[in-house]
Amino acid sequence: MTHKATFRHVGVIGAGAWGTALAQVCARAGLQVTLQARETEVVASVNATHRNDLFLPGIDLEPTIKAAPDLADLADCDLILAVAPAQHLRAALTAFAPHHKAGAPIVLCSKGVEQGTLKLMTDVAAEALPDATIAVLSGPSFAGEVARSLPAAVTLACEDEALGRAIAEAIAIPTFRPYTANDLIGAEAGGAVKNVLAIACGIVEGKGLGRNAHATVITRGFAELTRLAVTLGAKPETLAGLCGLGDLVLTCSSPQSRNMSVGLALGQGLTLEQALAGKVSVAEGVASAPAVRALARKVGVEVPICEAVAAILAGEVAVDDAIAGLLSRPLKSEA
């Protein structure tokens, strides 16, 4: 039996920019795709005009993609991509549980740490769907570029390596290359922390602090990301790949990044409310920052840049004071 026979019908939970882009990829891979959207206007638009101009404007979608409003519409799917925002993933998967087809893997495509529980998305999914096989998809992948078939590569992590390869082969197209791994924590921890660091890089840009400072934040931020992820059980080599370093570099290097754009606005003197105004897509780092800070404190890992971002977002410290605090930290070994 070929992988295309194993996975015929893919269900995508969440029709934001990334969910829509992944639906596009799967349709181009020859799979039947049902895209679940809460917004009735998105369902109507995708089905009638093959567009999702609310979350992914200007992109013509494959006409084979079918949008549906209810999670029950995914009951026949033999592969599920869960792309609900991190803070809503538990509710989405809990609501989907009665409709989950036995044996259908769940691929987690959201990035973040759950507020309150301080759990990664794999733990959230395991609690919501205890019998499901979980995989993680993460890597440097702006939704608009993926949807337009510009080249991208990602990490597809699954403990069952044969299943991981089958999923990767099923969804791969020439311009979307999933590389397989078996380190789920590494694949998701990098994605969770990099969104917080992208806000920091945006602040650097907004304040006009220069390329040296920008490179420093990425590099020292990667050290924070690695320390925390390894403490949680990740493999360092996973973090040096697409889902760690690759995703960090992309998200911290372009205002296309929703998280970096928030930081850019904060660095230019706007309030958080002003920075978020008018955004229909979620900047995961805003919700993840306090959770990342709390998780790092819980496991005893130093993350000064993430701490500073969380404090700025919470209104505990002004941007200039946070920068001064980081610059006045004692000198130490880089290791």
- 119, 194, 207, 235: which one is catalytic? 194
Decide: 229 and 193 in contact? Cβ < 8 Å: yes
Task: Give CA–CA dist 41/48, Å, rounded.
Answer: 10
Mapped onto helix, strand or coil, the DSSP state of residue 20 is helix
**Nearest Cα to 23, choosing from 59, 66, 57?**
66
Which pair of structure tokens corresponds to residue 261? 């754009």
**Nearest Cα to 307, choosing from 325, 334, 333?**
325
Decide: 281 and 227 in contact? Cβ < 8 Å: no
Strand-by-strand arrangement of the 79-82 sheet: 66-68, 32-36, 9-13, 79-82, 106-108, 134-138, 152-158, 176-181
HSE, side-chain direction, 13 A CA sphere, residue 36: 23
**Nearest Cα to 62, choosing from 83, 38, 32?**
32
Which ranges in 88-209 belong to alpha helices (H)?
A: 89-96, 121-128, 143-147, 161-171, 184-207
- Annotated active-site residue 332? The verdict is no
Amino acid at 112: G
Which pair of structure tokens corresponds to residue 98? 């009665």
Tens of pLDDT along the chain (335 residues)? 344 548 999 999 999 999 999 999 999 999 999 999 999 999 999 999 999 999 999 999 999 999 999 999 999 999 999 999 999 999 999 999 999 999 999 999 999 999 999 999 999 999 999 999 999 999 999 999 999 999 999 999 999 999 999 999 999 999 999 999 999 999 999 988 999 999 999 999 999 999 999 999 999 999 999 999 999 999 999 999 999 999 999 999 988 888 999 999 999 999 999 999 877 777 789 999 999 999 999 999 999 999 999 999 999 999 999 999 999 999 999 87
